[in-house]
Amino acid sequence: MERTFVAIKPDGIQRGLVGEVISRLERRGLKLVAIRLMIVDEGLARRHYAEHVERPFFPSLVDFITSGPIVAMIWESDNAVALARQTIGATNPAEATPGTIRADLGIDTGRNIVHGSDSPESAEREIGLFFEPGHALDYVRSNDPWLRES
């Protein structure tokens, strides 16, 4: 089992898309194991997006991600990182595949609704930034045998 970090960004909250985003990941088959409604401060924003610090869009990205509440989540499944990224879609909603969250719900890279970790290593790092150790729950979902053969 793999875990990934997914966050609904401030635009997703303001546009009332929390249920829609969670619903799509649930229907795909990923399991929600941690969730937190929170405000990201500048320090956390800079750490989370550290890889982009030299990019021209970095200041506006930090302003945006700190501009209102986000929903931070941990989702679990086999290949959770890749499955979540696939369901989320490409960074630019205008280039994302129809059927993905970003393509179906957005039009602009700077307002692309949701974040998903890009590798298992990133997922571990990001989960550590947003959640205390042991915060994620281990629980059995009764429909798992209908979702996975073994």
What the block records as the tokens of 104 is 């179906």
Which of the choices ligand IDP, Mg ion, none does residue 110 contact, using the CB cut-off of 5 to 8 A by kind?
Answer: ligand IDP
Q: Which is nearer to ligand IDP, 12 or 29 (CB)?
A: 12
Per-residue interface string for the shown chain with Mg ion, residues 110-129, x marking contact by CB under 5 A: --------x-----------
Active site residue 135: no
64: helix, strand or coil: helix
- According to CB under 6 A, which residues from 29 to 68 bind ligand IDP? 52, 57, 61
CB 84 within 8 A of CB 29: no
Which of the choices Mg ion, ligand IDP, none does residue 115 contact, using the CB cut-off of 5 to 8 A by kind?
Answer: ligand IDP
- 54: left (phi > 0), else alpha (psi -120 to 50), else beta? alpha
The only residue of 110, 135, 141, 144 in contact with ligand IDP, by rule CB under 6 A: 110
d(CA 75, CA 129): 15
First-residue to last-residue Cα distance in the chain: 12
Contact residues toward ligand IDP (CB under 6 A) are 52, 57, 61, 91, 109-110, 112, 115, 118
